[in-house]
Every structure is written in structure tokens, then in C-alpha cells.
Structure 1
Amino acid sequence: MARRTVDVTPVDRDDLRDVMGLWLAARVDNGSSKEAAGRALTDGRLSTALRRPGVHSFVARIDGEPVGYAIASENPFGLSPQAELAVEQLWVGPDARRHGVAKSLLAAVLSTAERSGCEVVVSNVPTASRDANRFFARLGFASVITRRVVSTSALRRKLAPESVETGHELLRRRRSLRSRAFPAAASRQF
């Protein structure tokens, strides 16, 4: 069976609605609720992000139907010694996977990187996504960094200094509990 032709084009105003639908499907596919993803669309975050300077977005179609998209940004942090293009998002609908759509989208990203003078293409791939990691590894992407993520509330709890009194109180409570659990050990003198 012959592979269907994948057509990849830069996103323009006419494509925005298609990309929004694909983005919504990607968020739901990745575990977000449809309501939460819908709110992110209605507040305009995606359309605002796509209009930023240095952001390049592409939509892939098979037989005229949108089946995937890619969003890339030039040198997102400005800290790399060489110019880079970062693949921020790459998603292909489940029915269109294994038809060369992701490779076609990456080919468009590569062309943009070369035109922009970027020497490196990077992508943040979720650790738990085995298929995505294998896909990028087969294309020559190497693991360079481990990116760790924490919620602001969890980090605040971890960074909150323990007061001296709280620390002493915790130690006293532990010793008290230990002496109740092991009364013979508490009475021994060392």
C-alpha cells in the first residue's frame, strides 16, 4: 500500500482554526481535560504565542485534512553558545501516526533552522514518552540534559526554612514517640 502524501505548510490566518483544533486534541491526548484545554484556547494563549517573533508553526495535512502540527522557536533562552531552533510542540493525530507526518513536520522545522542560520535543533521530550524518545533518537537527537519540573507550591514548601523551635519540637516529639515504643531502650543508660 502506497503512503499517502503529507503536505506541510507554515501556519497562516486561514490555518489557525485547524491548528487550534489539533492543539486541543493534543492536550486531551496528553491527559488534560477538554474544559481546561478549551479555556487555554479561549483566553488566546495559543494564538498570541504563534504571533511572537521567532516562533514558527506548521500544519500537516493528508488529503486536505489537518493531521498534525509543529511549533518551533528560535533560541528560546538565548543561553546556548550556538543559534538553535527548539521544537516546542510536535503532535500527530492517532489515526495519522506511522505515515511520515512527524518526519515531514521535522523536515519543515529543519528547513526553517537552516534558513535562520541555526546550527542546532533541540526538542524537549517527556521522559515517560517511550515512543517519542525512540523517534527522536532514531533521527539523531541525543540526550543532553535532564529537565526537572516542580510546582511552585511544592517548591515553596521545600524552600520554607524550618524554624529553630519547630526543629526542636520535632526532635522532642520523635524522642517521645521512640521512648513509648521501646520503653526498655529508653531506660538504658549508655
Structure 2
Amino acid sequence: MPISVREVAMDDLVALMPIWDEIVAETTTLAVSDLIARIELSLSDIGFKLYTAWDGTAAVGVACVALTDVGTWTETPGVQVSGLHVLGRFRQRGVARLLMNAALACADSWGCSSIVASVPSASRDANRFLVKLGFVQASTNRIVDVATLRRRVSVEPRHLSIARMRRRSAGTTVPEISLRHAVGK
């Protein structure tokens, strides 16, 4: 049976579960509520689409397609493809190409001249696939928790930061200091 691609519908949730189970096995930080939220966003936001590839009644692939700004210093509209995932047993059958065709249709509809794809750097197969399609590395994205970055870049002296954490855990507040005392007069 030929593979077809269409925009997701809320009724597709149960059919998407095998794909979701594979995605969650790789990330372990996602819940079904995350998938439901993405489906709802796809149905309500003209700048975000969730596409699914189908083999008859079985969902075999998925991709998030969003309108984004790809310019660093100028407003340059582009299409962002993320979350591209094809069930293992359906890889090497053109499913991902069909999902990328849906992204091309969005680019045409939204008037975009560039498509950006986000895949995990450790995913060799996904990166090879994109290179075969002509994608080039344009940047490297890195991610950090806010708390980690705050610890590393904060201009607050470390001893003050520790004192603040101790006060918070003890439930006490900072004693009032007069402005005159604070500026040393």
C-alpha cells in the first residue's frame, strides 16, 4: 500500500502511539500530554503543522513543521522541521522524503525560501539523510538549564548566592538595610 501524508487530527492520537513510544524511548522526558498539546497547536495555529505519514490506517512517521525566523540580523521567514521520526521498520522506504515534501508545501504556502531541520547531533542516520537532501550545517545549537547557566554566569558573589539559598530553605527573609548603610555613608 502506498504511503500517504496528511496533517494530524485529534482522532489520530491512538494511531500515533507506536511512533510516540519510539520517540519517548529515545528521550524519556515526554508524556502523552506533550503529544496532545502539539496536536492541539497544529489544529489552532496556522504557523505550526504536525504531519503524519500513513501506511493504510497505521501511522508510520511524523514531523513538526513551523514558520520561523531564520535570519540572525534580518527578518527572514523560513520553515523549521523538527521531531522528524519514522518507525524503525519503515525507514529506507521514502517516508521521511514524503514528510519533507509536506514541509516544502508549507514553505510554498508561507512564502519561505529556506527550510531548517533540527535533529539530535548524535542521530547519525537522520543527519546523513538531511545531508543527502542538500542540508548543510549552518549553526550549532546548544541547550542548558536556566539554573546551571545562572550559576555559571551570575555576577553575584558565590557567598551571597549560598546565603540566599540558605535563607530561602529556612523560610527567612533578608533583614532591612537602610540605603544610607548600603552605600556606606
Query: Is the TM value for this pair above 0.5?
Result: yes
What is the match of residue 110 of structure 2? 116
- 1:52 to 2:45 alignment: yes
Give the letter for the 1:157 counterpart.
Answer: R
Question: Which structure 2 residues correspond to residues 1-190 of structure 1 after superposition, within 5 A?
Answer: 4-19=1-16, 21=17, 24-32=20-28, 36-41=30-35, 44-50=36-42, 51-75=44-68, 81-161=75-155, 163=157
Q: Contact conserved, 1:74 with 1:86, CA < 8 A, in 2?
A: yes
Give the secondary structure class of the aligned counterpart of 1:99: coil
Give the letter for the 1:30 counterpart.
Answer: E
Give the secondary structure class of the aligned counterpart of 2:116: strand
Q: Distance in 2 between matches of 1:164 and 1:152?
A: 17
Give the letter for the 2:50 counterpart.
Answer: S
Deviation at 1:155, TM superposition (A): 0.6
Q: Contact conserved, 2:82 with 2:119, CA < 8 A, in 1?
A: no
Q: Contact conserved, 1:72 with 1:85, CA < 8 A, in 2?
A: yes
Normalising by structure 1, we get a TM-score of: 0.71
Q: CA RMSD in A?
A: 2.6
Deviation at 1:121, TM superposition (A): 0.8
Q: Distance in 2 between matches of 1:30 and 1:101?
A: 20
Identical aligned residues as a percent: 30
- Pick the structure with greater CA Rg: 1
Q: Contact conserved, 1:22 with 1:68, CA < 8 A, in 2?
A: no
Q: Distance in 2 between matches of 1:45 and 1:77?
A: 24
Give CA-to-partner distance per residue, 1:51-89, whole Å, 9 cap, x none. Answer: 323112211111321111111011257765432111022
Give the secondary structure class of the aligned counterpart of 1:7: strand
Q: Distance in 2 between matches of 1:77 and 1:155?
A: 25
Q: Gapped runs of 5+ residues in structure 1?
A: 167-190
Give the secondary structure class of the aligned counterpart of 2:41: helix
Normalising by structure 2, we get a TM-score of: 0.73
Deviation at 1:126, TM superposition (A): 1.4
Give the secondary structure class of the aligned counterpart of 2:141: coil
Q: Gapped runs of 5+ residues in structure 2?
A: 161-185
Give the secondary structure class of the aligned counterpart of 1:8: strand
